[in-house]
Amino acid sequence: MFDIVISGGSVLTRTGIEQIDVGIADGFIAALGSGLEGSEMIDASGAWVGPGLVDLHTHLREPGEEWKEDIATGTAAAAAGGYTAVVAMPNTVPAIDNAQIAFYVSERARRIGYADVFPAGAITMGRLGEHMAHIDELWDAGVRIFTDDGTSLDNAAVLRLAMDYIANLGGVVAQHAVDSTLSAHGCMHEGTVSSRLGMYGIPSEAEEIVIARDLALVRLTGVRYHVQHVSTARGVELVAAAKADGLPVTCEVTPHHLTFDHNDVETTDPDFKMMPPLRSETDREALREGVRDGVIDIVATDHAPHAAREKEVPFEHAPNGVTGLEWAASVAVETIGDDMARFFEALSMTPASIGQIPAHGLALAADQPAHLVVFDPVAEWTPETTRSRSRNAPYLGTQRTGSVRATLLSGKITYEAGS
Ligand SMILES: [Zn+2]
């Protein structure tokens, strides 16, 4: 008799997809087989059972901006979205530029127990782009991804030095690829809609320039490089060309760039304001194609909560960002379709591998920690509530396909639909 049995689902195992049960005992996967009995049964008929999802790009806002989100509410939202591990962005207040804050974030998440949190470290002190952060001690604290996310690291000399340093350690440099000077006044994509609305735009070139410059430095330093929230067709082409050249490059796309485009900004609803901005229909199609063909390695949420009083202002004055943890899996399945292997690759296995996250993102096998998700790929649902502290999400009230039935972290149920 197992503690929990997940029965009747399509299970992603090391040897392929199989219709079997998963038996869980003492926090671990104890058996994969047929007719297993558990004290607690989770019905997975018609559903996919695989490794818990892993988000490489979450803003938990703690420490410093807990009115938007904190580690408890953010990881509760993560569990509801099928995630068992998230990488917390370092643009907190203060920034995660030293080991103490990194320890604080991961330890607090461990005590709360909704999801494992792996903090990313800032590349520069205070994310100011001038002097390298305490990269050695961050590394020793378990940090593997370094980024000044929220801001592009514009200074090529500082970036080169950091790349040399991080390459030597074996870490990843992740870039918020939006040129600061070209985006300085902009609040949406520069195109037909920004012309019509009379808003300052951000040209696609703001992304291309940063990626192209960085790729030259990747060639120079050999560092593993990850493009965060790619938003343009040309950005995807640059990554594809770099991969064809054998450079160690990966990239992510957000759910909102797969779902919406600059026409949605016509509403001037601040929930459609994000950085990089929603691009053209052509860009969105290229992003969707990129996820399907794998040029875009992963879907990452860029979950960016903001309080209502911050977002309920004129579009130009609103902060950038949208929440994403609870509907990213739906958007992914809407994009990828019924390719279960690609779904788990893009949302769990490859993010864990890029982020060097241990014990997550593994095809199921006996004796590994039971970090699992049960996901129904065809269930239709309409998100009305959220476990996040913030509600800045244009997905609320819209019908989505694909929903999480249950999430388990170390064999404990962290989310179960309808309970
Ligand atoms: Zn960013």
CB 163 within 8 A of CB 217: yes
CA 220 to ligand 1 centroid distance, Å: 24
- Mean pLDDT, residues 160-170: 98
Contact assessment for residue 383 and residue 372, using Cβ atoms and an 8 Å cutoff: no
* pLDDT tens profile 53-68: 999 999 999 999 999 9
Taking a 5 Å cut-off on Cβ, the residues next to ion ligand 1 are: 149, 176
- The band of 37, judged by pLDDT with boundaries at 50, 70 and 90, is very high
Name the phi and psi angles at 307, rounded to 5: -70, 155
278 phi, psi to nearest 5 deg:
-65, 130
Domains in the chain, please, with CATH? Answer: 2-48+367-416 (2.30.40.10), 52-354 (3.20.20.140)
Cα 312 to Cα 117, 158, 267, 307, 319, distances in angstroms: 30, 37, 14, 9, 10
Q: Which helix (H) or strand (E) holds 10?
A: strand 2-13
Its pTM stands at 0.98
Question: Closest Cα partner for 164 from 221, 122, 214?
Answer: 221
CA of 339 to the centre of ligand 1 (A): 28
Residue 284 three-state SS: helix
The 10s digit of each residue's pLDDT in 275-298 is: 999 999 999 999 999 999 999 999
* pLDDT tens-digit map of 11-35: 999 999 999 999 999 999 999 999 9
Compute the distance from residue 150 Cα to the ligand 1 centre, in Å: 4
Is residue 140 part of the annotated active site? The answer reads no
What token pair was written down for 215?
């790729």
Half-sphere exposure in the Cβ direction for 375 (13 Å, CA): 33
Question: For residues 234 and 211, what is the distance between their CA atoms, to the nearest angstrom?
Answer: 10
Annotated catalytic residue within 302, 338, 339, 367 = 302
Tens-digit pLDDT profile for residues 204-243: 999 999 999 999 999 999 999 999 999 999 999 999 999 9
CA distances from 148 to 21, 130, 415 (A): 43, 11, 32
CA dist., res. 256 & res. 277, Å (int): 10
Cα-to-centroid distance, 206 and ligand 1 (Å)? 13
**Is residue 267 scored above 80 in pLDDT?**
yes
The confidence score (pLDDT) of residue 115 equals 98
- Taking the centre of ligand 1 as the mean of its atom positions, its distance from the CA of residue 149, in whole angstroms, is 5
Q: Residue 418: what pLDDT?
A: 86
- Contact present, 226 and 174 (Cβ < 8 Å): yes
